[in-house]
A and B are shown apart, each in its own frame.
Chain A
Amino acid sequence: MKLHIIISSILLTLFVLSFSSFAQKPLSGLEVIQNVYNRPEGKDQDGTLTMTLINSRGDQRVREIKQFIKDFGTEEKKIMFFISPADVRNTSFMNWSYDAEGRDDDQWIYLPALKKVKRISSDSKSDYFMGSDFTYDDLGDRHPSDDTHKLLGEETFNGEACYVVESIPKEEDYMYSRTITWIIKDKWIGLKKEFYDENDELLKILTVEKYGKINDYWIITHSKMHNVQKEHTTDMLLENLTIDAGMSDDKFTERMMKRGI
């Protein structure tokens, strides 16, 4: 038996033991959210993102994007290439986000018609992402320590046993007064999330339409965000996912942005 196998076996045993002892007493809200935040999703991921924006009159805009994401430990890099509509084909967008507290994302955009890469500054995590109903925070960047969490109880939702957790932001002027999340117990996937605005009125509902196991990771592949106040919906569909294919580090450069898909 090789040493590292022994070590990992011991660690595994310890983990299982500690988990079972944890299971005795109920998890706290914070722990549930941490488990969601830390749910492994692989080191890298590429796929096609189809983003459909639907306004209150039912008009639709569809954008097809090829995206690459890689986790670099303390930072996450993401590059997106627009496939359609045709007039923005090969426009690319790159985002580097950092774990370090207080550090803003770095963002670049490449406009092929201008043949220039431009920096754009992201002012806030609560900005909406590309005109969708998702903010950068909603897309999963929000750190659990930014909110205080409270386990409201357990509920069966869509046939899954779920924890229901209420999260209240510590920041005073944050765009949401609170959120409520339904989290599948054994998978740490948020199935549904309600967002309440500053006046504590329901603002948005996020629903997960589809998730599945890819390379042993639980991945959400289809979700919908419905802004109930503006009657606006964003549908995000991830397809052709490849995970942990060993993406090259220099995928995430200005040169690559210009090169296109």
Chain B
Amino acid sequence: MMNKKLGVLLLLVIPLTACSGLGVKPWQRDILSKPEMTFGDSPMDAAFDDHIYFSKEASSGGRSFSGGGCGCN
């Protein structure tokens, strides 16, 4: 039981510590602050695409919530 808890804890902590070696300092964000480097920088395209692919395929979501709000599938 203890080992299981330790395992879960390690699973949670390892990715975070691995991530701590990555990244930039605040003054190194010149490129990251460009609009095209933001996730969701074209919300109109994304919403239209979600609607098209939701109505034509059996999968949805992933990037955002998968709910469709339309009777197209």
Chains A and B belong together in one complex: no
B-binding residues in A (CB < 8 A): none
Chain B contacts to A: CB under 8 angstroms:
none
